[in-house]
Structure 1
Amino acid sequence: MSSSQTVTGGVSVIAHHSAAAFLERAGACLLEREAEHNLLLGIAQDFAAAGGPSDPAILLATVEQHGDVVGCVFRTPPHKVGLTRMPLEAVPAVVRAIAQRYERIPAVLGPDEVARHFAQRWSALRNTPWREGASQRIYQLEVVNWPASMPAGRLRPATTADIPTVREWVSAFAGEVHLLMADPEHIAVEYVNRGIVFLWEDGWPRSMAAVPAATPHGVRIGYVYTPPEWRGRGYASACVAHLSDAVLESGSRYCFLYTELANPVSNSIYQRMGYQPVADVMDCIFPEHAGQPRVQIATNQ
């Protein structure tokens, strides 16, 4: 069987049992707003390349109405549910489909109105409270506007010798943005070995950024971190600007990143660099998981 289907009020939520099947059905729709859908496209592409997903708990689903794809739903447990934009009248069908698969979820991420509508329905169904979490903005870059001044140093790939530093910084990053991360050591080793972690070095490493995921025409930049003692000196800006330029020079059409709307400094820096706002999304949290780390895709994951 290639898919399972839940139908509510004329809306079908179709869970595809392979990423390839999901992309075949939803890919064209997602690519119409590639930057907005960069997270889901990256997840699905990674699974498709590996012939997966192999875990039946993972969800890649299309939301369909009158034979058309009107939205998508995804989840890679233990993380939150992700939603794309969709008609609000489709949300009850999504809530029902999620309830049939998962007894509990920590949060939902999606466009503001869609996420709130889902949270209200989920709260009523499961008799659990909810609260608004982080609001984030998705950005897209096509050409780097170089900062007027640049700190000393250079961008370089992290090497195996840098793994202790990368592990420490990944862990610190996760703590600052309340990101659920089971094993920073594994992330550090995997990302360094894959060649997707970069450091700004001025005598020694001062700042970090990574390229954790790609879409057909772009790359997401994330894990941007500078230790507190080196902040305010332009290291992160230099790191992101040079890495973004390298991504574009390598043939990608776009760079993407996320920022928290509550951080006006990072939003201003990235816009001066040439990043253009594309869409806003938000987390809605279900506090029955309050004992767990807050689950989000926060600034530059």
Structure 2
Amino acid sequence: MLPDDWHLTDDVDDFLAEAGGFLRSRPGRHVMQLTWAERIRARGAGAGAAAGASGADAPSFGILVRAGEVCGTFYRLGSLGLSPFTPEQADSLAVRLAALGHELPRVSADHDTATAFAEAWQRHTGATPKLRDTRLNLYGLHALTPPRPQPAGRARLLGDSGADLDEAVRWCAEFAEAVGEDVTVDAATWPSTRYADKRYTLWESPDGVPVSVAGMNPLIGGQIQIDIVYTPAHLRGHGYAAAVTAAVTRTALAAGARDVVLFADAGNPTSNALYRRLGYRVLTGWSVYDFS
């Protein structure tokens, strides 16, 4: 049993051995911890490079133990990702990382935790935090309610054929460009991107033309995260996003997921209303602070 303190490691297997039970006890709120730890475990440090980590910022992890129990974790892949913390816990981590001379470009967590850490980091390092304008809602599935009416067409799961891989690359490249993600998605870069380990579902019109796509991450700790949902701007307003989200949710449940989660832009009333109609409920707000 680890003594009470922060314990830092660059070994993802050690991290999961000590903190896996804690993370799986609340998989929804720990979705990013579980996702990135498993991605690093399965794909090695290259997955950290895909997240923007390199050199001294290679993947690292931390575990907070209090009264002999794990009560908090973090991962660092360039930026810092946190499990839910109290202000005292956030302050203790800021003290530890500042003492080690760490420099952080940003922190990502549920809104209260991210805010508590940003304020603590400023106190202990003088770095100025800036809250990003785009904030997210983290949703968890309560009970799937399929859209009514459903648009004409059908769902199709993308497989491993060359044509299907080309289709996945094309759609993810369009999505990355639409959301302003600083990444090149093409046939050459595909294996190193975060998109490569997802399964994709297309919604096709009656004549077989793809009109919307949704992806899902692998099953981790009984949970699947839906990521991405995308419809090109000129095809929106026809119910395709609702149909493909319902379809990929069914795929996730059929794959054995007890919990299904997804993120949505908190400032987009259309997507938030859509997910609520489909039976998703907000688990928490999510924020990112950048540090000067």
Which TM class, normalised by the smaller chain length? 0.7 to 0.9
Distance 1:247 1:54 in 2: 23
Q: Report the alpha carbon displacement of residue 123 of structure 1 after superposing the two structures with TM.
A: 2.9
Q: Tell me which residue corresponds to 1:37.
A: 30
Task: Name which of 260, 263, 272 aligns with 1:255.
Answer: 260
Distance 2:71 2:198 in 1: 36
> What aligned pairs does 1:50-129 form with structure 2 within 5 A after superposition?
57-77=58-78, 80-99=79-98, 103-129=102-128
Q: Per the alignment, do residues 188 and 132 of structure 1 end up closer, same or farther by CA in structure 2, a change over 3 Å counting? A: same
Q: Report if the CA contact (8 A) 2:106-2:288 is conserved.
A: yes
What is the root-mean-square deviation in Å for CA atoms of aligned residues?
2.9
Q: Report the alpha carbon displacement of residue 54 of structure 1 after superposing the two structures with TM.
A: 9.7
Q: Report the alpha carbon displacement of residue 153 of structure 1 after superposing the two structures with TM.
A: 1.5
Q: Report the alpha carbon displacement of residue 242 of structure 1 after superposing the two structures with TM.
A: 0.8
Task: Name which of 197, 200, 206 aligns with 2:200.
Answer: 197
Q: Report if the CA contact (8 A) 1:83-1:110 is conserved.
A: yes
Q: Report if the CA contact (8 A) 1:147-1:273 is conserved.
A: yes
Q: Secondary structure of 2:217's match?
A: strand
Distance 2:237 2:175 in 1: 17
> What aligned pairs does 1:15-30 form with structure 2 within 5 A after superposition?
15-30=8-23
Distance 1:119 1:137 in 2: 19
Q: Tell me which residue corresponds to 1:268.
A: 273
Q: Per the alignment, do residues 161 and 38 of structure 1 end up closer, same or farther by CA in structure 2, a change over 3 Å counting? A: same
Q: Report the alpha carbon displacement of residue 99 of structure 1 after superposing the two structures with TM.
A: 3.6
Q: Which amino acid in 1 is paired with 2:230?
A: Y
Q: Report the alpha carbon displacement of residue 175 of structure 1 after superposing the two structures with TM.
A: 3.5
Q: Report the alpha carbon displacement of residue 117 of structure 1 after superposing the two structures with TM.
A: 1.9
Identity %: 26
> What aligned pairs does 1:110-149 form with structure 2 within 5 A after superposition?
110-133=109-132, 134-141=134-141, 143-149=143-149
Q: Per the alignment, do residues 211 and 54 of structure 1 end up closer, same or farther by CA in structure 2, a change over 3 Å counting? A: closer
Per-residue deviation, residues 36-58 of structure 1 (Å, max 9, x unmatched): 11221122223334577997721
Q: Tell me which residue corresponds to 1:297.
A: none
Distance 1:184 1:70 in 2: 40
Q: Tell me which residue corresponds to 1:167.
A: 169
Structure 1: gaps spanning 5 or more residues? 6-10, 289-301
Per-residue deviation, residues 213-254 of structure 1 (Å, max 9, x unmatched): 432212111121111110111111111101111221232222
Distance 1:101 1:94 in 2: 11
Q: Tell me which residue corresponds to 1:241.
A: 246
Distance 1:25 1:262 in 2: 37
Task: Name which of 177, 192, 195 aligns with 2:179.
Answer: 177
Distance 1:193 1:48 in 2: 15
Q: Secondary structure of 1:105's match?
A: coil
Q: Report if the CA contact (8 A) 2:32-2:81 is conserved.
A: no
Distance 1:190 1:114 in 2: 28
Q: Report if the CA contact (8 A) 1:160-1:192 is conserved.
A: no
Q: Per the alignment, do residues 101 and 209 of structure 1 end up closer, same or farther by CA in structure 2, a change over 3 Å counting? A: farther
Q: Which amino acid in 2 is paired with 1:271?
A: R
Distance 1:102 1:171 in 2: 37
Q: Report if the CA contact (8 A) 2:173-2:184 is conserved.
A: no
Q: Secondary structure of 1:98's match?
A: helix
Q: Secondary structure of 1:115's match?
A: helix
Structure 2: gaps spanning 5 or more residues? 49-55
Aligned length in residues: 277
Q: Per the alignment, do residues 190 and 76 of structure 1 end up closer, same or farther by CA in structure 2, a change over 3 Å counting? A: closer
Distance 1:91 1:72 in 2: 10
TM-score, reference length from structure 1: 0.80
Q: Secondary structure of 2:171's match?
A: helix
Distance 1:246 1:136 in 2: 24
Distance 1:164 1:110 in 2: 33
Q: Report if the CA contact (8 A) 2:33-2:82 is conserved.
A: no
Q: Tell me which residue corresponds to 2:217.
A: 212
Distance 1:187 1:49 in 2: 16
Q: Report the alpha carbon displacement of residue 265 of structure 1 after superposing the two structures with TM.
A: 1.4
